Amino acid sequence: MKTNLLDTKDYIVFLIYFVIVAAYGLYIYKKKKSASGGSKDYFLAEGSLTWWAIGASLIASNISAEQFIGMSGSGFKMGLAIATYEWMAAATLIVVAVFFIPVYLKNKIFTMPQFLHQRYNGTVAMIMAVFWLLLYVVVNLTSILYLGALAVSSISGFSIDACMYAIAAFAIIITLGGMKVIGYTDVIQVFFLILGGLATTYLALNLVSDHYGTKGIFEGYNVMTAKASEHFHMILKPDNENYIDLPGLSVLVGGMWIVNLNYWGCNQYITQRALGADLKTARSGILFAAFLKLLMPIIVVLPGIAAYVLYKDGAFQTEMLQDGSVNPDRAYPVLLNLLPAGLKGLSFAALTAAVVASLAGKANSIATIFTLDIYKKVLKTDASEKNLVVIGKIAIVGSMLLGVLIAPHLGIDKKGGFQYIQEYTGFVSPGIFAMFILGFFWKRTTSNAALFATIGGFGLSLLLKFLPGMVDLAFLSDVGFAVKNAVGVYEIPFIDRMGFVFLFCIIGMVIISMFENRNGVNPKGLEIDAKMFKTTTGFAVGALLIIGLLVALYTIYW
């Protein structure tokens, strides 16, 4: 099967996408430009985003090259089980909408460091502000840039560097318009993302169907389940070679909850979309995002499994190779290259939309934290609203330039894009989530306890990561908490590792808080009213429908 680069029709389709996004962004910028020009309006689009814009923006910001390329690659390697990141996210979004968002909105929280300053103290807030900036730039921004450029390069034929510069420039243009422009253009981005993604899935299923002499996408799906039945299980057993990445029931009752609750509930990059809205609008937007999350495995996982089935039967033998060995992350670009002219341009636009939307959201969050939590609080406490907006725009450009410069030197493509991001953010997720969850719901939690979770959690994560090189962990294998890695050494799967570190942080925080705060009074404890967590009937029905669908999916593909 030979590959082809972009045709004239593809460039026309892509140009239409570019013009629509740019023109709509300019229209939103002019129409909804606030007379105040304040920083909260610029960074948060206060009161301006509708529920459908919030939901679409959440998905557009979340879905990027690490899903299209990395998760599709994981579909090639380990199958449908990787979809647990998407389907468990749908359940997590319901928890965040019911319990987290009311706390943020009631306490007028606009940034995550602001919450930490208000709930704990300035030291905890500043440490985490600096940390988040480093994480967002060095891990997230760079991986989105590099994986996106890698994919776009493989389809367009342009060099990786040229693609990286072009993507970064497009993202800067959108981001400079502020959160209103990002939020509303994300609706267009999600339209192209889903339409183009479904086109690729349609092609992949048809390819399988034609390869085995049947007709239609449903027959193609049936062939895939028959030829690669081991790729259609959500819960992996300890003898599965991919158990180290997705350790069995931990994806339902263990560390996967830490991954998702930290990402969707304690992450500036994500929560920022809902923090400028009222509670009903924010909840409706998050519920809409949860429904869209259920669709994502169809778009990003099934094509990877289809590529695996075809590869196993002799197709793509050279296209899947990189440096002499099979690279699963090539599965999606290989399929895109087989699309007919026009459709290929649509899928190319979908991939670009996913990358650009994620970059815009990430850059906006970097600018928000730097401007409101570092510049305004430390560097220039008397800064005017206009000055804050200018500094935010400078931070956007600066962070993107920094990302472009360092991305090629991090070896992001060596590990597998999606797993690279999950594991490295997993070093800090347990401590951060422990600090937030006790900060929300336990008034006695102290600042020193929060510092312990931050520093102690990171330290224990590092220890557990490198422990297999010092101690034989075979004794944990009997209970499923250690498996052999690629070189035959027993190690703790990183999702289980996060679960252990989270429990360690919670226990440590409780002990420290009870010792420091013997009288049980903490003036910085948040006021929590049970009425805050009451939902509308419409939200409750939607949430129950999502939960019912999840139960059905996990039952069918157990």
H-only helix segments in 384-493:
385-406, 412-415, 417-425, 429-441, 447-466
Highest mean pLDDT among 222-236, 455-469, 521-535: 222-236
What domains can be seen in the chain, in order of their start residue?
8-32+49-408+417-425+528-556 (1.20.1730.10), 426-527 (no CATH)
In this predicted model, what pLDDT tens digit does every residue of 120-141 receive, in sequence order? 888 888 888 888 888 888 877 8
Q: By C-alpha distance, which of 269, 256, 266 is closest to 433? A: 266
Give the number of residues written for the chain: 558
Highest mean pLDDT among 197-206, 348-357, 376-385, 481-490: 197-206
In this predicted model, what pLDDT tens digit does every residue of 386-424 receive, in sequence order? 888 888 888 888 988 988 888 777 666 555 555 556 666
Pick the residue with more confidence: 46 or 267? 267
H or E stretch at 541: helix 537-556
Q: Which backbone phi and psi does 79 adopt, to 5 degrees?
A: 95, -160
pLDDT surpasses 60 at 507: yes
Mean pLDDT of the chain, nearest integer: 82
pLDDT cut 70: percent of the chain above it: 91
Q: Rounded to the nearest 5 degrees, what angle is found at the Cα of 495, between the Cα atoms of 304 and 540?
A: 80
Residue 100 vs residues 152, 171, 482: alpha-carbon distances, Å: 37, 29, 33
Distance, in Å, from the CA atom of 549 to the CA atom of 546, rounded to the nearest integer, reads 5
Which residues, at least 6 apart from 115, have a Cβ–Cβ distance to it below 8 Å? 104, 107, 109, 436, 439
Q: Mean pLDDT check: name the lowest of 154-158, 232-236, 506-510.
A: 154-158
Please give the average per-residue pLDDT across 312-317, as a whole number.
Answer: 82
What is residue 62's three-state secondary structure?
Answer: helix
2 falls in which pLDDT band (50, 70, 90)? Answer: very low
pLDDT surpasses 70 at 535: yes
Which residues, at least 6 apart from 243, have a Cβ–Cβ distance to it below 8 Å? 236, 237, 483, 493
| 453, burial (CB in 10 Å: exposed 0-12, middle 13-18, buried 19+) | buried
What is residue 59's three-state secondary structure?
Answer: helix
pLDDT surpasses 70 at 47: no
Distance, in Å, from the CA atom of 257 to the CA atom of 108, rounded to the nearest integer, reads 26
Please give the average per-residue pLDDT across 36-49, as a whole number.
Answer: 61
At residue 159, what is the residue type? S
Q: Taking every pair of C-alpha atoms in the chain, what is the biggest distance, in angstroms?
A: 75
Q: Are 123 and 447 in contact (CB under 8 A)?
A: yes
Highest mean pLDDT among 10-19, 140-149, 166-175, 501-510: 501-510
DSSP 520-533: ---TTPPP--GGGG
In this predicted model, what pLDDT tens digit does every residue of 315-370 receive, in sequence order? 887 777 766 777 787 788 788 777 787 878 887 787 787 788 788 878 888 888 88
Give me 259's structure tokens.
């991954």
Give me 472's structure tokens.
């034989």
Q: Are 65 and 147 in contact (CB under 8 A)?
A: yes
Please give the average per-residue pLDDT across 159-165, as a whole number.
Answer: 86
Please give the average per-residue pLDDT across 255-275, as a whole number.
Answer: 82
Which residues, at least 6 apart from 438, have a Cβ–Cβ distance to it below 8 Å? 445, 449, 506, 509, 510, 513
Q: Mean pLDDT check: name the lowest of 45-49, 508-512, 538-542.
A: 45-49
Write down the pLDDT at residue 189. Answer: 75
- Residue that has been written with the tokens 């907006």 in this structure: 389
